[in-house]
Amino acid sequence: MLQEVGDDAMHRLRLTSNLEDLCSADIIVEAIVESEDIKKKLFKDLDGIAKSSAILASNTSSISITRLASATRRPSQVIGMHFMNPPPIMKLVEIIRGADTSEETFLATKVLAERFGKTTVCSQDYAGFVVNRILMPMINEAFHTLYTGVATKEDIDSGMKHGTNHPMGPLELADLIGLDVCLSVMKVLHEGLGDSKYAPCPLLVQYVDAGRLGRKRGVGVYDYREATQKLSPRL
């Protein structure tokens, strides 16, 4: 039965690279690069393409929904719909209301997330929202702990997994998320909240400058290249 449900869902999926194909959508969820300028450009374009009743949602992990909504003529229909990574496994969707997000938009988005089988939490539109406001400073502090030589990366991650019952250590998680994304969120927190405690760790900045972005690049805090090579077929 589950296989049939999955197959049916796959048959209903349609891939496209043409924004114009979204003209009949009831809700559009944006999940592009974590850049306010690029997201605003996309929201402006979508505003001109989507039908007047459509909801425009952003999967941003830190950028102001109010500012994204300002790029459109429908701020009451713009909302944050932040899926935790990786979305097929993680149960949470964080819903963020902008300054002008309507109650109707909020309720429709919440119902949709729950139809996906997700648990929802609601956040006001402040830097980092709920999850990243708490998570990213923890990851940043893990980098400080490594940077100052308090412990090895392995012991930092093992300590947090076995000492606080986290499924992954903070440095492993940073590699999974992407160090560039972590740095971007820390910059948003630092600028948006104006507190020095949110300043990105110099080691995190250095890794990103070096292109050590995590699993997607094969190297971050940890080096994944050897494991990848072992899995690759020999020609």
- Residue 234 above 70 pLDDT? no
Residue 146 burial (C-beta neighbours within 10 Å; 0-12, 13-18, 19+)? buried
pLDDT in tens, 172-216: 999 999 999 999 999 999 999 999 999 999 999 999 999 999 999
Whether the per-residue pLDDT at 228 is higher than 70: the answer is no
Catalytic residue status for 190: no
The active-site residue out of 82, 162, 166, 190 is 82
pLDDT at 232 over 50: no
115-149: pLDDT as tens digits: 999 999 999 999 999 999 999 999 999 999 999 99
Question: Residue 235 and residue 231: Cα distance in Å, rounded?
Answer: 12
**Res. 26: pLDDT tops 90:** yes
The domains of the chain are located at 1-124, 130-224
Are 1-124 and 130-224 in the same CATH fold? no
- 42-46, 81-85, 224-228: range with highest mean pLDDT: 42-46
Taking the mean position of all CA atoms in its chain, how far away is CA 51?
A: 26
Distance CA 63, CA 185 (A): 8
By C-alpha distance, which of 193, 181, 187, 166 is closest to 217? 181
Which pLDDT does position 72 carry in this prediction? 97
CA distance 159 to 233: 35
**pLDDT, greater one: 84 or 107:** 107
CA atoms within 13 A on the CB side of 53: 5
Instruction: Report the CATH architecture of 1-124.
Output: 3-Layer(aba) Sandwich (3.40)
Average pLDDT over residues 105-114: 97
Contacts of 125 (CB under 8 A, 6+ apart): 64, 65, 66, 80, 96, 97, 98, 99
Whether the pLDDT of residue 235 is over 60: the answer is no
CATH of domain 130-224: 1.10.1040.50
- Residue 227: band (very low, low, confident or very high) from pLDDT cuts 50, 70, 90: low
Span 58-89, pLDDT tens digits = 999 889 999 999 999 999 999 999 999 888 88
161 or 231, which is more confident? Answer: 161
Residue 3 has what pLDDT?
Answer: 83
